[in-house]
Amino acid sequence: MSGRLALKWQPSSDFSLNVALDGVDNESGQSPYTIEVTGGLDANNPDNGDFPLLKESMLPDNPDDLGSTVAGIESTDYSGWGASVIADWQVNDVYAVKFITSKRSSDYTGGLDDDGTPLHLSEFPEEGGADQFSVEFQLNGTFDSWDFVSGLYYFNEDGFTASAPYVYSPFNTPAAPGSFRIEQETDSYAAYFNASFDITEQLSLGGGLRYSEDSKDAKADFTYFAKNAEAEFDEVTWDVNAAYQLNRDMNVYAQIQKGYQSGGFPPRPFGGADAFVSFDETKALNYEVGFKGQVHDRVSMMVAVFITDYTDLALPFNDPSNGFNTYIENAGESRAQGIELETTVAVTDDFSIRSSVGYLDSEITHVDEGVQGITVGNAPALTPRWTVMVAPSYFMDLDSGATVAVNASYSYRSDMQGQSVNNPNEFIESRELFGFNLSYTNSEGDTEITLYGENVFNEVYDVGRLQQAGFVGVMRSNDRSEFGLKFRKDFWLD
């Protein structure tokens, strides 16, 4: 069950206040999961975990049945609520002020039976929660030949995840139940300024600066170790851009951007205190040129070509020996280069087709000495080479003034690697999805009823694959076929 309420108060043309509240309370089945037995590691090596009794014949016939006998893992509960306030004040013809704040809280229970069978080999019931708060203040200005956006931003998150009792029993020998609780509080601060200047009627130049600072306090409390850790990260990022108006409907642009992603701590430090160490921030430098506009009376197009170079790229990988250890290392450098094309074709006044095609070539270009598992030439995790979307739409105006809209959608994602250590067992195959919606909107535009279908052919596909000791854990898609009705009604308060 979920709901959302949004209110807008506009006492004058210069000021508006938007308030939104939302909440969700969901109880669903287990996350779709299965395993593929790949053969054990060397059982004579005492450092290698293995599950010799585990066989695929033990897996349930129903792919949506986890086969677990651990109470609580068979379902997932999630609840949360959020609230936001946005105030806009147009001070005068030049300056505008915006204030944004939000609060959100959520918690969940669930878990995973890693071996996917009734055997008690690798089981992790889990619960967690997080509280978030953010506030942002903007001062913006518009002048005859230039404009700017500036602001201050603060974000706080306090969250935890815990599992008790969990079981990890290599060699099928009984092991004492374990427990863990990982807590982390994050404080993020930022200040930014962006400006754009009209050099001529056709040429504009822009640029911006942003200072970001992140502070993270974390605690790992396991059955066999406990450790507190903290880390701080900061970076100045920037962008410069230029745009040239070819004519009223078309322009070309170029931009260079420096980006930053905060560092942190590994989410599952089963390797002990030595594994619970921070990894550094990732930096990126992006070069992009593009074109967008109306290339024909009925055809609009956007084309972008980009190259992104990453340094200190944080890459996770998993070591299946001696337990389920997750490591995150700043592996060195990588490059992503590609092209994106988006088009909208108005075949007739009532029928149009939107489409997009993306091509991405991404690989690790340098690996620091001592980094485990990852090698030059590996593709970073979850980076498909091709993505495609096609969405035709048909609109029909009725004599009553109402509108009927028919929309269909097709999306394709090519195969990709599930982990940055390119193990063939973690290869994720391509997938295709189809959807539709049929909507009716009344003549006033304040009421809409929509019949929709998502994943109409019930495509079941892998979203993640993780090599473990002697088997691969396969996370399956949970967006199975869904059909339903949606209703929207707008209300105006005097």
- Helix, strand or coil, per DSSP, at residue 93: coil
Whole-number pLDDT of residue 258: 98
Best CA proximity match to 312, nearest among 267, 374, 362, 261: 261
Of 5-19, 268-282, 322-336, 381-395, the one with minimum mean pLDDT is 322-336
- For the residues of 261-307, what is the DSSP string, one character each? E--B--S--TT-GGG---BPPEEEEEEEEEEEEEEETTEEEEEEEEE
Kindly indicate the confidence band of residue 42, based on its pLDDT and cuts at 50, 70 and 90. low
Whether 220 contacts 239, CB under 8 Å:
no
Give whole-number Cα distances, 346 to 191, 282, 296, 301, 342, in Å.
Answer: 42, 42, 10, 12, 14
DSSP annotation of 56 reads G
**b/e per residue, 453-467, with b = 16+ CB within 10 A?**
bbbbeeeeebbbbbb
Q: How far is CA 238 from CA 211, 232, 260, 285, 397, in A?
A: 9, 20, 10, 10, 47
**Residues 160-186: pLDDT tens digits?**
999 988 888 766 666 778 899 999 999
Tokens of 407: 């929309």
Q: Which domains are assigned to the chain?
A: 2-489 (2.40.170.20)
Between 20 and 111, the higher pLDDT residue: 20
Amino acid at 344: T
Question: Which pLDDT does position 313 carry in this prediction?
Answer: 85
- Using a pLDDT cut of 70, give the percent of the chain over it: 94
List, in order, residues 6 or more apart from 67 with CB less than 8 Å away: 58, 59, 60, 113, 116, 117, 118
- Give residue 45's pLDDT band: very low, low, confident or very high (50, 70, 90): low
Least-confidence region, from 87-91, 239-243, 309-313, 469-473:
469-473
> What's the average model confidence in pLDDT over 20-34?
88
pLDDT (0 to 100) of residue 173: 67
pLDDT of 207: 98
| Mean pLDDT for the stretch of residues 93-99 | 97
What torsion do the CA atoms of 57, 61, 66, 72 make, to the nearest 10 degrees?
Answer: -110
pLDDT of 46 > 70? The answer is no
* Residue 316: predicted pLDDT: 72
Indicate whether 60 pLDDT > 90: no
Please classify residue 174 by burial: count the beta carbons closer than 10 Å to its beta carbon, then call 0-12 exposed, 13-18 middle and 19+ buried: exposed
Give tens-digit pLDDT for 203-242: 999 999 999 999 999 999 999 999 999 999 999 999 999 9
Q: Of 98-107, 376-385, 441-450, which has the strongest mean pLDDT?
A: 98-107
What contacts 441, CB < 8 A, 6 or more positions away? Answer: 402, 403, 404, 405, 447, 448
Q: What is the pLDDT of residue 70?
A: 79
Arithmetic mean of pLDDT over the chain: 90
pLDDT of residue 396: 95
Strand 427-428 and strand 325-330: the pairing is unpaired
